[in-house]
Structure 1
Amino acid sequence: MSFPATQVQASAGIAALSARLAAQGLPESKADDVRIALTEAINNVVEHAYAGVAAADVQIDCSLCAKKLVIQITDTGDPMPELRIPSGTPPSVDTALQDLPEGGFGWHLIHQLASDIQYERKSGGNLLCLRFDFDEMP
């Protein structure tokens, strides 16, 4: 599936993809993990990859088979810093309430929820691959 990289279109696209995956047999026990990680990844594309440049489309390809789901997210936005996946270390919350960070937790969630994460910059675009392993058969 493909949709314009805007907040509204991303939200609708994630909801549609979640429904398709459920209909194709994604185990209920993994549905929330997949939706949360996918939402964080797509929001990063919208907010960071296309920050300051004209937003284009986000392409999502999925492969659901025995005991795993692989999601490939492709965009033509700016590359990830240093051409690599952020470490996923959350910012410190050991601070006064008014000084708590507003963001920085998304990659931590993605690292916690996905079984594997791969990233590459290829032909002027970004390819992020998230794999989710599960014990139940779809």
Structure 2
Amino acid sequence: MMLRWQMEPAIDALAQLSDSVEAALRRHGVSGEQVSRTRLIVEELACNTLEHGHLRRAPLPVDVIVHLLHDALVLEFHDSGPAFDPRSAPVPDLDADIAERPIGGLGLHLVQQLADRLDYRHDAGRNVVRIVLLQPADPPLQESPA
């Protein structure tokens, strides 16, 4: 099953997008953990697009596509900002004193940590980030005492 949203590149559209994604995933029986992971990823990618991607270009809508598979949730995020591969972002030094750390980078680090797989391509002038979130395995059945 495929679900699709389009967000105008405006900060006030972000909450509506996040709420719509969350509500649709819950309606389709997606686990609470997957819903939370997906919402955080959508919010972070959308914020980065609004903050960095549309400053230098005529803004086009952001497209968010979710494919619900039997063993995974696949999220595609399409934007028209300058080409940027989120996998190329430097890993933040989480052990450094917060006052000495450069601003930024934590959100993309979080996205990479939440994703089971993250792919990127630049296609027809648009960034396409593809994230796979595997369904959590069912806990093993407890044996009843004999």
The two structures have a TM-score, normalised by structure 1, of: 0.85
Structure 2, unmatched stretches of 5+, are: 139-146
Whether the 8 Å contact between 1:88 and 1:109 is mirrored in structure 2 is no
> Shift in Å at residue 106 of structure 1?
1.0
Structure 1's consecutive aligned runs of 4 or more residues displaced over 4 angstroms after TM superposition are none
Aligned length: 134
Post-superposition CA distance 1:85-109 (Å, at most 9, x none): 23561245523x5444332101110
Larger Rg belongs to: 2
Alignment of 1:43 with 2:47, yes or no, is yes
* Larger RCO, structure (CA 8 Å, separation 6 or more): 1
Of 77, 85, 88 in structure 1, the residue corresponding to residue 87 of structure 2 is 85
Name the counterpart of 1:112: 113
Q: Label 1:87 to 1:76 Cα distance change in 2 as closer, same or farther (>3 A).
A: closer
1:2 aligns with: 6
Pairwise CA RMSD of aligned residues? 2.0
Q: Which runs of 5 or more residues in structure 1 are unaligned?
A: none
Q: Give the corresponding residue for 1:122.
A: 123
* % identical aligned pairs: 21
Task: Tell me the TM-score normalised to structure 2 length.
Answer: 0.81
Tell whether the 8 Å contact from 2:86 to 2:108 is kept in structure 1 after alignment: no
